[in-house]
Structure 1
Amino acid sequence: MTIGPHTVDTPVVLAPMAGITNMAFRLLCREFGALHSQDDGGLYVSEMVTTRALVEDHRESWRLVTMGEREKPRSVQLYGVDPVTVRRSVEMLLERDKADHIDLNFGCPVPKVTRRGGGGGLPWKTELFTRIVRGAVEAAQGVPVTVKTRIGIDDDHVTYRDAGLIAQEVGAAAIALHGRTVVQHYSGDARWEAISDLKELVTEIPVLGNGDIWSAEDAVRMMDETGCDGVVVGRGCQGRPWLFADLAAAFAGRPDRIRPTLGEVAATLRRHAELLVEFYGDEGRGIRDLRKHVAWYFKGYPVGGEMRHRLATMESLEDLDRKLGELDLDSPYPGAAVEGPRGRAGSPKRAVVPEGWMDSRDLTADHAGRLHEAELDTSGG
């Protein structure tokens, strides 16, 4: 897969996930991806960071876009709604030598983002979308800028075709499509046929597919069925960073798959803990961050509710080691119980966008005047 000047053996991108894909998790996924690949088995993108927060020099936001020495290429995802702010944030990233690849988020379905015109609701305003992407591409001066979006706001307000053609026209290096609408959030099935449609329409830049990739076999099947140039993996790797080893092997045509025993899962969780402590520079904060991963790691394994609760309230590395030592570490891979969807799928939700937003694809003066509010609740990532 080639994105601008960057070519990776494995056509896979780790999707940005808020509170998940920090440096620690990215490094863990890279370690597994490198097991069956000459490089690190794909691209690994940072958590979403708001352009406003970077321009206002928020310390936490700049920490989130700071990469480890091993992270090459350095992929940063930005969320912004104002063309001037987006452009300036890209300039600052380059001035401070923080990125080798920039991804723009136009797919977030979270109401606090869409209710002010951001995320998955923004491509409906085609001129605004065009100005943002073009400005980022111009400011990047050859550093590849990619776009991630959804099918649309709902089935009556579809945006992906226009978004793909605009991204191609203004010089984006690739476009990724999550095969759901904003209304769907993560419910139901991803509509891979939309990815096929976009691939037929957009022919000059890579088209990446996203949605319902729970295994290496799913990724290969998506590419076979849609013709897309690569895949974006999000919830499927939660608690399973070894999925990137499976993906690298599958795309290399090898049958190797990691099917970890409970002991191997525990060792991976412990490695994740070490990386989090190193990332935060604070053992307590790193351990608290790890707690949310416990249920994902032990999904399907014979770890009872009481032990899961105890692990989810761990206080230190020593406490973690003590509790992991109580598990039956010889328990084998449980098979189907571990496979399939992960994370919260939820149910379809009403599209929360500014009043009158969907009445026209043009940006009204009122909506334009309120766009500055769209990043207030998401500053700092």
Structure 2
Amino acid sequence: MSRSLTIGPHTSDTPVVLAPMAGVTNMPFRLLCREFGARHSANDGGFFVSEMVTSRAIVERHPETMRLVTMGERETPRSIQLYGVDPATIAASIRVLRELDLVDHVDLNFGCPVPKVTRKGGGAVLPWKTELFTRIVTEAVKAAEDVPVTVKTRMGVDDSHLTYLDAGRIAEEAGAAAIALHGRTANQHYSGHARWEAIASLKQAVTSIPVLGNGDIWSAEDALRMVEETGCDGVVLGRGCQGRPWLFADLAAGFAGKPDRVKPTLGEVARVLIRHAELLIEFFEDEGRGVRDLRKHVGWYFKGYPVGGKARHALATMESLDDLKEKLSVLDWEAPYPGEPVEGPRGRAGHPKRTHMPDGWLDSREISQEHRARLHEAELSVSGG
């Protein structure tokens, strides 16, 4: 199933996008994914999007946010995901990114189900307000000029308040370069199963720009099956690559029609973990902060491998690069790839939850004066949520 993905002027010979994940998809992890993707691809095996950053924080030049959007020399194209609820602020943030030459592709977040975002009318609940959604996408595309703008959304708030078909048509008409759909509602969060049939419906409704599918892709075979079953133009990969940056090598091989799959020994996983640590230390310019940031990845990397609780705890409390290497040295580096225990779902699935929204948000698709007046409260000033 050899195919490519084009977003504006940028084309990848692997139709895969790394989904933004707060605290995970920073520059070091993106570089690891690119390195593996390049094994079977001429251009790193896809598009690799930054952690979500807020439009207000960019306009205000928040130091941490500006560091998050400053990418490495190898990162081409430079893809940045923006969150915001005010069309003018989003447009202004895109102009800042363009003026500073920091971006080649902007992705707009309308899929976040986190309460601090949705309770003020942002993220996954915003497309319910059709006029506001339209204005945001339209103003973003206008401000971006020749920089392509894509949209990522969910099916809707819940099954009684679906928005994805309207959002797809609006994004297409407003000039978006692609739209990605996570096949869950906001109420589902990450529970249950992603409904790929919704991705198929969106592909039928949106015909002039790429439609990307997201949800429950744990292997290259899952990605190939999603494209086959839904007709989508590419896939967005999130939790499936946590602790498995080599999955991008599998995806590049799979879409190139090759049978190659990465099945690392425990020692090979350990070497990737060390490489990840080195990149984090360089990124943060602080060894302590770098290895502390790595701690959250330990459980993902060793899922299914013969690493006991004591060793996992020791690794999750590492204090330095030398400390990491010493704690890894006691493991059985010859232990083979465990197969099924490593594969399948990873990350927290949780349970369905009632989505927090402003009072009366679902009463109408139009935005009331009261809600409009409160939207500034949803313009988060700090990124990474």
TM normalised by structure 1 equals: 0.99
Offset of residue 173 of structure 1: 0.1
> In structure 2, what is the equivalent of residue 219 of structure 1?
223
Q: Please state if 1:147 is matched with 2:145.
A: no
> In structure 2, what is the equivalent of residue 290 of structure 1?
294
Q: How far apart in 2 are the matches of 1:300 and 1:285?
A: 27
> In structure 2, what is the equivalent of residue 156 of structure 1?
160
Offset of residue 330 of structure 1: 0.2
Match of 2:37 among 22, 29, 33: 33
Q: How far apart in 2 are the matches of 1:80 and 1:178?
A: 19
Q: How far apart in 2 are the matches of 1:196 and 1:376?
A: 33
- Percent sequence identity over matched residues? 75
What are the Cα deviations for residues 106-126 of structure 1, in whole angstroms up to 9, with x where unaligned?
A: 000011100000000000000
Query: Residue 50 of structure 2 aligns to a residue in which SS?
Result: strand
> In structure 1, what is the equivalent of residue 191 of structure 2?
187
Assess if the C-alpha contact under 8 Å between 1:58 and 1:380 holds in 2. no
Match of 2:137 among 128, 133, 136: 133
Match of 1:102 among 102, 106, 124: 106
Match of 2:170 among 166, 169, 174: 166
Query: Residue 149 of structure 1 aligns to a residue in which SS?
Result: strand
Matching residue's letter, 1:362: E
Offset of residue 378 of structure 1: 4.4
Query: Residue 248 of structure 2 aligns to a residue in which SS?
Result: helix
Query: Structure 1 runs of 4+ off > 3 angstroms?
Result: 376-381
Assess if the C-alpha contact under 8 Å between 2:22 and 2:384 holds in 1. no
> In structure 2, what is the equivalent of residue 313 of structure 1?
317
What are the Cα deviations for residues 50-89 of structure 1, in whole angstroms up to 9, with x where unaligned?
A: 0011111101101000000000000000000000000000
Structure 2 residue runs without a partner (length 5+) = none
What are the Cα deviations for residues 3-22 of structure 1, in whole angstroms up to 9, with x where unaligned?
A: 01000000000000000000
Query: Residue 290 of structure 1 aligns to a residue in which SS?
Result: helix
Q: Please state if 1:120 is matched with 2:124.
A: yes
Alignment of 1:1-381 (within 5 A): 1-376=5-380, 378-379=382-383
Query: Residue 29 of structure 2 aligns to a residue in which SS?
Result: helix
Q: How far apart in 2 are the matches of 1:310 and 1:159?
A: 46
Offset of residue 377 of structure 1: 6.8
Q: How far apart in 1 are the matches of 2:139 and 2:87?
A: 6
The count of aligned residue pairs is: 381
Q: How far apart in 2 are the matches of 1:18 and 1:371?
A: 23
Assess if the C-alpha contact under 8 Å between 1:52 and 1:379 holds in 2. no
What are the Cα deviations for residues 312-339 of structure 1, in whole angstroms up to 9, with x where unaligned?
A: 0000000000000000000000010000
Assess if the C-alpha contact under 8 Å between 2:284 and 2:290 holds in 1. yes
Structure 1 residue runs without a partner (length 5+) = none
Offset of residue 211 of structure 1: 0.1
- Give me the CA root mean square deviation: 0.7
TM normalised by structure 2 equals: 0.98
Assess if the C-alpha contact under 8 Å between 2:53 and 2:83 holds in 1. yes
Offset of residue 270 of structure 1: 0.5
